[in-house]
Structure 1
Amino acid sequence: MPPTTPGLHHVTAIAGDPQANADFYVGTLGLRFVKRTVNHDDPQTYHFYFGDYEGSPGTNVTFFPWSERGRDGEFGAGQTRDTAYLIPPDSVDYWTDRLADDGVAVEESERFGDTVLRFSDPDGIGLELVASAERSSAERASGDEPRASDHAADADAVPWPDGPVPDEHQLRGFHSVTLAVREFGPTEEILTDVLGYERVAEDGDRRRYQTPADGAHSILDLVETDAGRGRMGVGTVHHVAFTAESVDELEAWKEAYGERGLSASGPIDRKYFRSLYCREPGGVLFEIATDGPGFDVDESVEDLGSSLVLPEWLEDERAEIEAALPEFEPPSVAGGAR
């Protein structure tokens, strides 16, 4: 049997304007700008990382900002529909007001007993804030009494002491992602038989899966859609990454994919982690990434995101890369929390 992932590692999407992208995720959502580098496969494109204070696995949403040269994507089957962050249960009013103040339209609903605020970023990428009670997904679906769980407001995100959002309301890392597929079966098989997820709840056209870790970042939802296959581009998610403890685990997953007739590429050195990639049968690109070595291999934690950092194999091209990148001013949080 392959290893069981404890849950989500990061989500990578494609943005348009790099300035608008960074200003929103830092200035509006209050995530820290933890890394400014380039796409290793396309060094003339930035790669931005936004997460908690330390850039902990399970908190990072990352972007390739394609700027004006990028084509628009088209949402459809085989894509991530929404990326959800966890917020404390008593932060719903704060976030409703904050998003409204920044001109963001929000739709409030309830799902599996949790309050969900759904909205889009400046490029149309679907986001959610989930105010989760302190109990597991299965318990909420069944109506059982709450129990203590690190799945909720005490998730392991590290607060940003000087961030634009007060500590008590900061995003607590990922709650889940929602993937849209034409039919549940093929994707569900990979989730359960390869990655170790278990189906724990169902509501209409939505199925919920959770890893046995039952903690922060351990949830994934599938929804069926009649839409055609989506097209990658600005405003869409490029891939979803799950967590591995080691390169040895990546090799085990590569073998498990192969046994199901799927081709996986890697492990690949991404400097901050090692990665394995495979497109699952429903069309979503899955990455599995190691916990380390982490973002402090080339910057101190205090200085994360303060400069353009390149992997060693691109340093000789720094002048050409910097000349090709679009103008960008790192977002300021000088005004403090609000």
Structure 2
Amino acid sequence: MNLKPLKGIHHVSAITANAKKNFHFYTKVLGLRLIKKTVNQDDTSVYHLFYADERGNPGTDLTFFEIPYAGRTYQGTNSISATSLRVKDNQALHYWKQRFEQLKVDHEAITNESGRMTISFRDPEGQRLILVSDEENHGVSGGKPWENSPVPQQHGVIGLGPVHLTVSRPERTIKVLTDIMGFHEKAGYQRDIDQKQVRVFETGEGGTGAEIHIVEDDQMSRERPGRGSVHHVAFRVEDADELNKWIEILNENHLPNSGFVERYYFKSLYFRESNGILFELATDGPGFEGDEDFEHLGQKLALPPYFEGQRTEIEARLEPLDTKG
């Protein structure tokens, strides 16, 4: 089978308990653009918010399911333990450190990890995030920050960076990444915060937009997710034909999976790796401008055509969320 390598990180989906506060932080503080206000297609009573670069280019989407009254996250192993966001260069990190101090965002010092400058921080719900500089990056290209962002374009977030997994049995996750998904291992590094060794795996063109970082921790209990936790990470495939090939690969390797799932803005396939972390494969297109033009992305409640007949009922269940400001 002529199968193309996965192209990198497609999106990361996390959990918030408060869509309004979430919208404020990710647009007004982090300067991302809300490019789609829609609903969780598996539970249309709650929002699904997509933040990204100027138009939601593949590899730039950080998304949130709103689960009102979600409890706190009890951090642990077998989890997506941090999500990275890429910025253009090292100078941008100094801008962000000053911005975090000014806006009282919980953050750490700028540090050098894996040959790149980074700064760790958290959103108000404890979401674990890392800004990573692309100054030394050679690999998957980033996106383009929105010109109307409150953050200057030269310092804006240009996409998703390495996704960090903490697992109790790393050999299980690594086997899926390398033997099935086509990742290969590159040089690792020692983490400053706790001196643990991190193993780095990349796919496609490699670089910050195509890496998974794995740390072993078999001492903690399994993470109990809630607000501020990550639901799943998705990887990029070219199109629906490629996605169908991946379904065959997973079936041949006896990996239970969702099969082909229509998400309207992209096509998807879901499965869990051997430590229980949810992976998704998602197509690069068709994208987010099929139901809204570029200038008005994210301003109205967007529903895929197969939910339009339920719009009245869906809107009645949702707390109004003003995203036009």
Query: Which residue in the other structure is 2:60 paired with?
Result: 59
Residues 1:194 and 2:180 are matched in the alignment: yes
**Alignment check: 8 A CA contact 1:79 1:230 kept:** yes
**Alignment check: 8 A CA contact 1:3 1:195 kept:** no
Unaligned runs of 5+ in 2: 190-195
Matches within 5 A, 1:240-255: 240-255=233-248
Match of 2:232 among 228, 236, 239: 239
Higher mean displacement: 75-84 or 20-29:
75-84
**Alignment check: 8 A CA contact 1:156 1:216 kept:** no
**Alignment check: 8 A CA contact 1:198 1:210 kept:** yes
Query: Which residue in the other structure is 2:77 paired with?
Result: 77
**Alignment check: 8 A CA contact 1:8 1:241 kept:** yes
**Alignment check: 8 A CA contact 1:242 1:288 kept:** yes
Query: Which residue in the other structure is 2:32 paired with?
Result: 31
**Alignment check: 8 A CA contact 1:49 1:61 kept:** yes
Normalising by structure 1, we get a TM-score of 0.89
CA distance in structure 1 between the aligned counterparts of 2:213 and 2:258, rounded to whole angstroms:
25
Deviation, 1:212, is 3.8
Q: State the Cα deviation string for residues 304-325 of structure 1 (Å, max 9, x = none).
A: 0010011112112111111111
Q: State the Cα deviation string for residues 48-78 of structure 1 (Å, max 9, x = none).
A: 000000111100000011123x333332222
CA distance in structure 2 between the aligned counterparts of 1:15 and 1:189, rounded to whole angstroms:
31
Query: Which residue in the other structure is 1:100 paired with?
Result: 101
Q: State the Cα deviation string for residues 274-319 of structure 1 (Å, max 9, x = none).
A: 0000010011100000001100010011110010011112112111
Q: Percent identity?
A: 38
Matches within 5 A, 1:204-219: 204-215=196-207, 217-219=209-211
Q: Secondary structure at 2:249's aligned position in 1?
A: helix
CA pair 301-218 structure 1, distance change in 2 beyond 3 A = same
Q: Secondary structure at 2:244's aligned position in 1?
A: helix
CA distance in structure 2 between the aligned counterparts of 1:207 and 1:160, rounded to whole angstroms:
33
Query: Which residue in the other structure is 1:126 paired with?
Result: 128
Match of 1:231, as an amino acid? R
Q: Secondary structure at 1:239's aligned position in 2?
A: strand
Q: Secondary structure at 1:295's aligned position in 2?
A: coil
Deviation, 1:246, is 1.5
Match of 1:111 among 99, 113, 117: 113
Q: State the Cα deviation string for residues 233-275 of structure 1 (Å, max 9, x = none).
A: 2221010000011122222222222233310112111010000
Residues 1:160 and 2:161 are matched in the alignment: no
**Alignment check: 8 A CA contact 1:38 1:45 kept:** yes
**Alignment check: 8 A CA contact 1:27 1:331 kept:** no
**Alignment check: 8 A CA contact 1:3 1:252 kept:** no
Match of 2:213 among 215, 221, 231: 221
Normalising by structure 2, we get a TM-score of 0.92
CA distance in structure 1 between the aligned counterparts of 2:139 and 2:223, rounded to whole angstroms:
35
Deviation, 1:27, is 0.6
Deviation, 1:24, is 0.4
Aligned-residue Cα RMSD (Å) equals: 1.6
Query: Which residue in the other structure is 1:290 paired with?
Result: 283
Match of 2:291, as an amino acid? D
Matches within 5 A, 1:41-56: 41-56=42-57
**Alignment check: 8 A CA contact 1:173 1:216 kept:** no
Unaligned runs of 5+ in 1: 136-148, 333-338
CA distance in structure 1 between the aligned counterparts of 2:83 and 2:324, rounded to whole angstroms:
22
**Alignment check: 8 A CA contact 1:67 1:326 kept:** no
Q: State the Cα deviation string for residues 172-230 of structure 1 (Å, max 9, x = none).
A: 11121101110211101111122221110122421011114124511110111222222
Deviation, 1:130, is 0.8
Higher mean displacement: 11-20 or 187-196:
187-196
CA distance in structure 2 between the aligned counterparts of 1:185 and 1:131, rounded to whole angstroms:
29
**Alignment check: 8 A CA contact 2:142 2:209 kept:** no
